[in-house]
Amino acid sequence: MSKTVFCVDDSPSIRMLVRKTLEPEGYQLREANNGQEALDALAADAAADMFIVDVNMPVMGGFDFVKALKSGAAHTQTPVVFLTTESGDEKKNIGKDLGVKGWIVKPFEGSQLTKIVGLLTT
């Protein structure tokens, strides 16, 4: 049964990249433009085996989204990784407190993303 990866990022180019990388590997992709849209989509359909979340988004950013996600019942254990352009210290710690698995710095290579997703969704 294929796994569902939910990509939350306001850049259509990034979402396209993630989709192009993971779909051929057999993953189902869901996408949202920002945290709020993701939450709305999940309210309708909670399916997601993993989240890839951009930190900087309008309306609702990555941190707020994960906070909201983790306070709901459906995805307290679902793996979350952040996408970011820097790995500043403050971000590290906040992510850690939220129970996020880690971050992926842009740019990343498709194969690396695939491996990470593979590890986190088995």
Partner 1 sequence: MTYSGLIEAITRIEAGDLLSCVAAMDEANRLVGEVPSGERAVNELLHHVIEKISRWVRDGFGDDRNAERDDLISALQKFDAPREADTGQSGIDQEDADYDLVMSFIAESRSHLEDIESRLLSMEVDRDPELVNGVFRSIHTIKGVSSFLGLPRVKTLSHALETVLDEVRNDRRSVDSELIDILLEGCDRLTAFVNALDSWAETVEPSHPGHLAEPDVFINDVLERLRSLDHKDEAPPEKPHSLYTPEMIDSFVQESLEILDSAEKALMDLDEGAGRESLDEAFRGIHTIKGNAGFFEQEDIGQFCQSLESVMDGMRKGDRTIGSGAVTGLLDGLDALRSHLSRLSSDYVPEDEEVASAQPNRESLTLGKVLIEMGAVQPEDVDAALDAQGRRIGEILIDSGVVAESTVQEALTVQNARVPKSETGTSTIAKRDVRVDTGRLDLLFTLIGELITAHAMVINNPELNDLELPEFEKASSSMGKIIRDIQSLSMSIRMIPLDGLFSKMRRLSRDLARKFGKTVEFLSTGEDTEMDRQIIEQISDPLVHIVRNAIDHGLEDGATRQASGKSESGIVELSARYEGNEVWISVRDDGGGLDREKILARAGERGMNIGDDGGASMEDSAVWSLVFEPGFSTAETISDVSGRGVGMDVVRRNIEQLRGLVNVESIKGKGTTVTLQIPMTLAIIDGITFHAGGILFALPIADILEFHRPDADAITQAPGGRRILRIRDQLLPVITLEKYYKLDRAQEDNTDNVFIILGSGNRRAAVPADELLGNQQLVIKALPPRLRGVRALSGCAILGNGDVCMILDVGYLLNAELNGDAR
Give the list of residues 6+ apart from residue 84 with CB closer than 8 angstroms, or none.
54, 55, 56, 91, 103, 104, 105, 106
Piece of the chain touching partner 1 by CB under 8 A; list 22-30, 39-47, 67-75, 105-113: 105-113
Position 64 contacts partner 1 (CB under 8 A): no
Position 87 contacts partner 1 (CB under 8 A): yes
Q: What is the DSSP string of 59-119?
A: SS-HHHHHHHHHHSSTTSSS-EEEEES---HHHHHHHHHTT--EEEESS--HHHHHHHHHH
Question: Of these, 24, 58, 72, 88, which contacts partner 1 (CB under 8 A)?
Answer: 58
Query: Is 31 strand, coil or helix?
Result: strand
Piece of the chain touching partner 1 by CB under 8 A; list 22-30, 40-48, 65-73, 89-97: 89-97
Position 17 contacts partner 1 (CB under 8 A): yes
Position 2 contacts partner 1 (CB under 8 A): no
Q: How far is the CB of 66 from partner 1 (least distance, A)?
A: 13
Position 7 contacts partner 1 (CB under 8 A): no
